[in-house]
Structure 1
Amino acid sequence: MPSVQFPGEGPHPDNHGKCEPTAPTYGQGRFFQTGRTLGSVVARVCREEEAPVGLAYAPPAEPPLVTAHKVGARVEIAAVNPAAQALGLAPGTALTLARAQVPDLEVRAADPDGDAADLRALAERLARRWAPIVAVSDADGLLIDLTGVAHLHGGEAGFARRLLRLLARHGIGGRVAVADSAGAAWALARHGGQAVQIVAPGTHIAAIAPLPVSALRLEPAALELLARLGVDSVGQLLDMPRAPLVRRFGAAIVTRLDQATGRAPEPLDPVVPPTRIAVEQRFAEPLLTAEPIEHWLRELMARLAQELARAGQGARAVELVAARVDNRPQCLRLGFSRPTRDPAHMLRLALRRIEEIDPGCGIDALALHVRRADPLGAETLAPSLAGEAAADLAPLIDALVNRIGTGRLWRVQPVESDVPERALTLLAPLDPPAGRGVPLRADDIRQLDARAPDHPWHPRWPRPARLLRRPEPVEHVIAELPDQPPRRFTWRGLSHRVVRADGPERIAGEWWRRSAERLAVRDYYRVEDEAGDRFWLYRRGDGVRAETGDLAWFLHGR
């Protein structure tokens, strides 16, 4: 039964096709364990292989970092990174003591709920792609049953290598232990001291014997009593008679011993990955024309809406798959600006693109797959009685997006940045604007400032309606240094003579983002040529100091 330990915190890995990285970077002590056996069945499905060497993840050099949480009136460390651990910090240490010991310590608030959600998300993804049985063992562990699947990954050693590579790609250090029981794998991953430890069949008892008794997952009171009695290792407990142990500690200690050695079953409670909603209709005779396809699309959309309502979900992306008799499926993807389960709206968008389906020799099955869904509660069936309902732009936006594509319809949100290309971000048409800052407390003195916040795009410095995707170089520029506007320039092979100009507007680099921008300067000019066309040009450098730029000219907007 393999077991993995990893430090880290953050978003979960692998979001099924999304770019955003998934995996967290938790602090010290994050684990997930995997199991080779289930219950009392001990099975080995691959030949013995040597444990891979050198798979420990070497994190990059980083400052000491801890997460902290409040326990009663005391603030304690919840997790530490390797740099903080090397300085002697450990979970459970008082934060005030840690700050006194390490003055430059970086502290972040612990998020146990987020950690639990990330751990479960990781378990679901492993259950989809690695092994069918994956269980959350505790707040920081997973158990994976390898029975019957290890050979699919090149054996247990290959499984360990692939798993560690997956974690390392997301900045997570891992430990993998494989043993005949879940308890032994759990103990070896946390206390074995190796990045990968694969125990030969039948030797797990000898492997866990030298480990401390804390490897048996006992209660703190039992561990304290064992320490007072001088019992330090699992091997000492195994050599003691059972009856005195039960009288002194209860049946829990014997149960944990039997689970670690494989004498007692330890059933796993596997996570069940959520299944995607889909409806399908197969035909006895192939469909060849648009009319029967439209008829069955109406039936399928109604069934899909019922399934979405039953699940309390609204579709954001639906894929129509038309399976042809020649095994060449036709696919149409429909996107929605907000969650919906309105069958009429979804059908209307599908019928507008029905001509894209090529039936070929015939279609013998139609299926609708919900590729993305969000929670959606009860829907209002009639407008408010108090007045007219606001215009709903979602149907119009959906029709445009499905016709011209998602990358061609968006709206702009300002960002607080002086650099023009960083001063905006693109949002989906109906996405809410991002929140601006943390709300102030009621007793914060800044509450006395009743002025409206400054807009990121200052009206005194107007910007062109259109910025180029990348600034384009201009040539043959005639301008007087250091701060006069250009008199003539050539762009895309055409020469332009300037008749009106305004500027310069000087923008310095954001040195806190990149060290290369510490001395960088741009001088922007708004110019108009003889034909009435207006351009937004800038020059790199202030025209006096060479370190501020190379005096090259660029066109940034029109």
Structure 2
Amino acid sequence: MARRLLSIWFPRLASDTSLRRRPLEGPFALIHRSGNTDHVHCLNTAAEQRGLRQGMAQADARAICPSLITRPADLTREAATLVALRRWAGRYAPMVAVDGADGLIADITGVPHLFGGEAELRDDLHARVQRAGLTVSSAITETRGAAHALARHGGGVIPEGGLVERIGRLPVSALRIDSKTSEALARMGLIRISDLIAQPRAPLARRFGPGLMMRLDQALGVQPEPVAPATEAPHFGVRMTLPDPIGLQADVMAGLSRLLDRLCETLERHHMGARRLRLELHRVDRETAQVEIGLARAMRDPARIMALFAKGVEEVEAGFGIDAMRLSAHVAEALPPKQLGGGPNLRHEEALTDLFSRLGNRLGFDRVLRLLPAQSKIPERSFLLSPAAHSKAEAPPRRHGPERPIILFPPEPVTISGLRHPRTPPVRFRWRRMQFTTLRVTGPERIAPEWWFDDPAWRNGLRDYWRVETLEGPRLWLFYTPQASNWFTQGEFV
């Protein structure tokens, strides 16, 4: 049995999808920002009839068509739509793969007779897609390259034995080559694929590289090109339908406990851990309540996860009762198996993770921060603030030199009462409305500005840092700026 491939092309997938959600009349375009310029990403038929084309600058498009209506392009939603169409196209073939950003390729070998033939299969596909509000073009032939080319240049069905004659009429740009190569071939007079087939292969390969010959061989079937659908990502979700509606918090938590056990077993089989979970509670009146939580670390421990749901479940209004529950981990990360036990260090780490999770769900995970060490001699740059849920604790690097204070704050001026020497710490000084007497000093430690950073706080130049022990008890970190002859306090030793 000869191999038969179906190429499906959605020329206006992004604009059709956007207009399906929010219809409007007249010329319409989706705009995508690339670099510093907004470009036309996708058009509807009315905009194309006005002379607009994909890839042109938005300013040029508005100059040609002042009544153009635009929306920002959503590439993520567009990719998700194509994946959904790939799943739907499984009704026509057992293997369907994504072909670029706006197309699909399906191996329909042995399938067309179920629809009455290849032409009937195409008619059924076009009718269903057009009812959904999408523009479509398709082609059926023996090779993936030929099907791709024909689908984007009119579509149709190429019977067995008619491949070379039919695709020979198409332009060389249909071979999935870059625009520079197709323009260079056109300047040589090689406009159609039939012109390219008749030429000696060696000179073309030397001038344009092996890619041109590879695409030509794939279209002609000399070099095979498989249809390999992407592996489906596992879905981590479980559901429960209840025989009678429930409304008590204890009943909901009992049902959640069963769902969590099943979900965590699925996560464990895939060596994954949940980072965000969503509980959907379907009520008798067809309303749905949602409780969503986040986790500071990937986790699949039902007891620890369940404790985080308690507050959200308590606030749910059950109405006339809840008759179905659904739990899903819509964000998951790899979590390999761990050795049981682990001692007090592991228990401490788990307790800290639970604390970060509780605080993150209440305050927001981006607001729970931790300090991380940074490679800088400048005190203000010796640490970084990072969300605790998205970073790991790091030990500070070993320093060689004077001790640094535990408590660090922005520089605060001190009032000098007496000096031993212009560049040594004052005998008496006033700071934060308190009078201090110097008992012992250690230093100085000279720190120069990092010239590659334009920091306004360090534009005064050098700083000489001193460790000052006072008669009153506090041990302070003072610095002197030789350029301005001023003293400041920036830290305190514990």
**TM-score, length-normalised on structure 2?**
0.52
CA contact (8 A) 1:279 1:300 kept: yes
Instruction: Determine if contact 1:133/1:144 at 8 Å carries over to the other structure.
Output: no
Question: Of Structure 1 and Structure 2, which has the larger fraction of its residues in helix?
Answer: 2
Q: Distance in 2 between matches of 1:482 and 1:130?
A: 73
Which residue among 332, 337, 358 is the counterpart of 1:403?
358
Identity of aligned residues (%): 24
In structure 1, the residue matched to 2:447 is 507
CA contact (8 A) 1:131 1:144 kept: no
Letter in 2 for 1:361: G
Q: Distance in 2 between matches of 1:53 and 1:399?
A: 52
Structure 1 position 490, deviation (Å) = 4.1
Task: Report the alpha carbon displacement of residue 424 of structure 1 after superposing the two structures with TM.
Answer: 2.9
Structure 2 residue matching 1:292: 3-state secondary structure: helix
Change (3 A) 1:419 1:186: farther
Residue in structure 2 matching 1:331, options 273, 291, 304: 291
**Larger Cα-atom Rg:** 2
Q: CA deviation at 1:292?
A: 0.4
Inter-partner Cα distance in structure 1 for 2:466 and 2:450 = 20
Deviates more, 1:389-398 or 1:125-134: 125-134
Distance change (3 Å), C-alpha of 1:459 and 1:411: farther
Q: Could you tell me whether the CA contact under 8 Å between 1:397 and 1:429 is conserved in 2? A: no
Counterparts in 2 of 1:49-198, with a 5 A limit? 49=50, 50-51=52-53, 53-54=56-57, 127-128=79-80, 132=84, 142-145=100-103, 182-183=148-149
Q: Secondary structure at the match of 1:295?
A: helix
Change (3 A) 1:391 1:312: closer
On the 8 A contact 2:479/2:488 being kept in 1, the answer is yes
Change (3 A) 1:284 1:497: farther
Q: What is the CA deviation profile of residues 184-222 of structure 1, one whole-angstrom value per residue up to 9, with x for unaligned ones?
A: 9999xxxxxxxxxxxxxxxxx9x985xxx587358xxxx
Report whether the alignment pairs 1:309 with 2:268.
yes
Match of 2:436 among 497, 502, 522: 497
Q: Note the residue ranges of structure 1 that are not aligned, 5 or more in a row.
A: 4-23, 26-33, 37-42, 57-121, 156-180, 188-204, 259-265, 436-454
Q: 2:188 aligns with which of 211, 229, 232?
A: 232
Matched, 1:458 2:393: no
* 1:417–1:456 CA contact under 8 A, matched in 2: no
Shift of the alpha carbon at 1:500?
4.0
Q: 1: distance between equivalents of 2:264 and 2:76?
A: 26
Distance 1:533 1:274 in 2: 59
Distance verdict in 2 for CA 1:425–1:186, change over 3 Å: farther
- Once the two structures are superposed, the pairs formed by residues 33-48 of structure 1 within 5 Å of their partners are 48=49
Report how far residue 302 of structure 1 moved: 0.9
CA contact (8 A) 2:465 2:477 kept: yes
Equivalence for 1:523: 464
Matched, 1:483 2:423: yes
Count residues in correspondence. Answer: 358
Deviation at 1:239, TM superposition (A): 5.8
| 1:136, distance to aligned residue in structure 2 (A) | 6.7
After superposition, give the CA deviation of every residue in 1:90-134 in whole Å (9 maximum; x if it has no partner).
xxxxxxxxxxxxxxxxxxxxxxxxxxxxxxxx9977512787569
Whole-Å separation in 1 of the counterparts to 2:330 and 2:408? 34
**Residues 145 and 253 from structure 1, CA distance in 2 versus in 1: closer, same or farther, beyond 3 angstroms?**
closer
Does structure 1 conserve the Cα–Cα contact (< 8 Å) formed by 2:295 and 2:389? no
Classify the secondary structure of the residue corresponding to 1:520.
coil
SS at match of 2:450: coil
SS at match of 1:372: strand
Normalised to the residue count of structure 1, the TM-score between the two structures is 0.47
Answer whether contact 1:417 1:423 (CA < 8 A) is retained: yes
SS of the residue corresponding to residue 509 of structure 1 reads coil
Q: What displacement does 1:152 show?
A: 10
Please report how far the alpha carbon of residue 477 of structure 1 lies from its aligned counterpart in structure 2 after TM superposition.
5.5
552 and 484 in structure 1: CA distance in 2 versus 1, 3 angstrom threshold: closer
